[in-house]
Amino acid sequence: MLSSTRGAPYDIAQQDFDWCAVQVAVQRYIRGRGARHDIADDIAQEVIARLVQLTREQQIASVFALAFRIADNLLMDMHRRESRLSAEIDDDWRSDEPSLDRVLDSRRAIDIFDRCLKRMPQLRREVLMRRRLHQESCRAIGEDLGISAKAVEKHITRGMIDLRRALDHAGIDLVGQD
Amino acid sequence: MGHDMHIRNRQAIDMQAIQWIERLSRPVIDSAAAADFDRWILKDPQHVESYARMSALWQSDGLAAALHDPATRPAASNDDEDACDAPRSRHHLMRRRTVQAVASLCVLLVACIAVPRLLVTDRIFATGHGEMRTVSLPDGSTVRMDGETRIAVRITPWSRHVALERGEAFFDVAHERMRNFTVDTGRAAVSVLGTAFDIERVDADTRVIQVYRGLVSVEAGTGREWRLPAGSGLELSGERVRSLKDVEGDRPDWTSGWYEANDTPVAQLVQRLNRTAPKAVALADPALGELLVTGRFQTGDARGVLDAVAAIHDLHWRETNGRYLLER
Domain count, chain B: 3
Tell me: do B226 and B283 sit in the same domain: no
| One domain for residues B228 and B267 | no
**Enclosing domain of residue A142:** 100-169
**Segment A91-113 mean pLDDT:** 69
- B90: closest chain A residue by CA: A178
Q: Classify residue B81: in a domain, yes or no.
A: no
Question: Of A86, A119, A135, which residue sits at a domain end?
Answer: A86
> What does the pLDDT look like over B272-294, one tens digit per residue?
888 878 888 999 988 888 888 88
The span from the CA of B184 to the CA of B190, in Å, is: 6
Q: How confident is the model at residue B115 (pLDDT cuts 50, 70, 90)?
A: very low
B86 domain residue, yes or no: no
Q: Is residue A44 part of a domain?
A: yes
Per the structure, the complete domain to which residue B204 belongs is given by 121-244
Whether residue A50 and residue B58 make contact (CB cut-off 8 A), yes or no, is: no
Residues A76 and A21 placed together within one structural domain of the fold: yes
Mean pLDDT along residues B26-55: 87
pLDDT at B79 over 70: no
Q: What is the mean pLDDT of residues B92-105?
A: 44
Say whether B62 and A105 touch across the interface (CB within 8 A): yes
At a CB cut-off of 8 Å and minimum separation 6, what does B291 contact?
B265, B266, B313
| Residues B202, B184 contacting (CB under 8 angstroms) | no
Say whether pLDDT at B125 is over 50. yes
CA distance B181 to A151: 27
Distance CA(A172)–CA(A110), nearest Å, equals 12
Q: For chain A, give the percent of residues with pLDDT over 70.
A: 76
Tell me what the pLDDT averaged over chain B comes to.
Answer: 78
- pLDDT tens for B247-276 read 887 788 777 777 877 778 898 888 888 887
Residues 6+ apart with CB under 8 A from B38: A62, A63, A64, A65
User: Which chain B residue shows the shortest CA-CA distance from A45?
Assistant: B112
CA dist B250 and A67 (Å) reads 37
Whether A76 and A138 map to the same domain: the answer is no
B235 and B262 co-located in one domain: no
| pLDDT value of position B304 | 86
CA B316 to chain centre: 41
Q: Do B62 and A31 touch (CB under 8 A)?
A: no
The CATH number linked to B179 is: 2.60.120.1440
Residues B240 and B270 in one domain: no
Q: Is the pLDDT assigned to residue A49 strictly greater than 80?
A: yes
Are residues A118 and A72 part of one domain?
Answer: no
**What is the three-state SS of A44-103?**
HHHHHHHHHHHHHHCCCCCHHHHHHHHHHHHHHHHHHHHHHHHCCCCHHHCCCCCCHHHH
Are A108 and A151 in a shared domain?
Answer: yes
A28 and A77 part of one domain: yes
CB A113 within 8 A of CB B62: yes
Q: Is the pLDDT of residue B87 over 60?
A: no
Question: Which of B11, B59, B83 has the CB atom closest to A161's CB atom?
Answer: B11
Same domain, B224 and B265: no
Flag if A39 and B105 touch (Cβ within 8 Å): yes
Does residue A9 belong to any structural domain of this protein?
A: no
Q: What's the pTM?
A: 0.54
Residue A155 CA to residue A140 CA, distance in Å, equals 14
Same domain, B190 and B267: no
On whether both A25 and A53 belong to a single domain, the answer is: yes
- Residue B197 and residue B209 in contact, taking contact as beta carbons nearer than 8 Å: yes
pLDDT value of position A142: 92
Asked whether residue A127 falls in the same domain as residue A78, the answer is no
Averaged pLDDT score across all residues of chain A: 78
Residue A164: pLDDT band with limits 50, 70, 90: very high
Residue A161 lies in a domain: yes
Least confidently predicted of B154-158, B217-221, B227-231 = B154-158
How many residues make up chain A in this entry? 178
Mean pLDDT across A56-72: 82
A61 chain-B contacts, CB cut-off 8 A: 29, 31, 34-35
* Within a domain: A8: no
Identity of residue B288:
L
Rounded to 5 degrees, what are φ and ψ at B217?
-120, 135
Q: Which of A37, A62, A86 is the last residue of a domain?
A: A86
Question: Any bridge partners for residue A160, and if so which?
Answer: none
pLDDT above 90 as % of chain B: 17
For chain B, list the strands marked E by DSSP: 121-126, 133-136, 142-145, 150-156, 159-166, 168-172, 181-184, 189-192, 196-201, 206-213, 215-219, 225-229, 233-237, 240-244, 258-265, 280-283, 292-298, 316-320, 323-327
pLDDT mean over B32-37: 87
Closest CB to A93: pick one of B18, B99, B119. Answer: B99
Q: What CATH number is associated with residue B276? A: 3.55.50.30
Whole-number Å distance between alpha carbons of B260 and B296: 5
Q: Is there a domain that residue B25 lies in? A: yes
In a domain, residue B174? The reply is yes
pLDDT of residue B105: 41
Residues in chain A within 8 Å Cβ distance of B55: 33, 68, 72
Say whether A98 and B93 touch across the interface (CB within 8 A): yes
Domain assignment of residue A114, yes or no: yes
Measured between alpha carbons, how far is A82 from B296 in angstroms, rounded to an integer?
A: 48
State the CATH number of the domain containing residue A143: 1.10.10.10
Residues A23 and A48 grouped into a single domain:
yes
Of the candidates A97, A140, A163, which has its C-beta nearest B225's C-beta?
A: A140
Q: Please tell me whether residues A24 and A48 are part of one structural domain.
A: yes
- Range with the lowest mean pLDDT among A69-78, A154-163, B52-61, B317-326? A69-78
User: Is B89 inside a domain boundary?
Assistant: no
- End residue of a domain, out of B30, B59, B88: B59
Round the CA-based radius of gyration of chain A to a whole number and report it.
20
Best residue in A88, A101, A107 for a mutation probing chain B (most B CBs within 10 Å): A107
**Among the three residues B210, B244, B278, which one is the final residue of a domain in this structure?**
B244
Give the mean model confidence (pLDDT) for residues A60-78. 84
Task: Please indicate, yes or no, if residue B106 is contained in any of the structural domains.
Answer: no
B101 Cα to chain A: minimum distance (Å)? 8
* Residues A157 and A123 both lie in one domain: yes
Q: B197 or A54: whose pLDDT is higher?
A: B197
Q: Is the pLDDT of residue B51 over 50?
A: yes
- Please, which residues 93-122 of chain A have a Cβ atom closer than 8 Å to chain B? 93, 95-98, 100-101, 104-111, 113-114, 117
Q: What CA–CA distance (Å, rounded) separates A116 from A149?
A: 23
Residue B55 lies in a domain: yes
- pLDDT given for residue B16 in this prediction: 96
From the list A29, A109, A140, the residue facing B52 with the nearest CB is A29
From B15, B41, B59, the end of a domain falls on B59
- B56–A101 C-beta distance less than 8 A: yes
CA separation for the pair B95, B13 (Å, rounded): 35
B132 domain residue, yes or no: yes
Instruction: Note whether residue A68 is domain-resident.
Output: yes
State the pLDDT at residue B108.
Answer: 37
- Cα B320 to the chain's mean position, in Å? 42
Residue B20 to residue B24: CA distance in whole angstroms: 6
- Examine residue A24 and state whether it is found in any structural domain, yes or no: yes
Say whether pLDDT at A101 is over 80. no
pLDDT at A175: 59
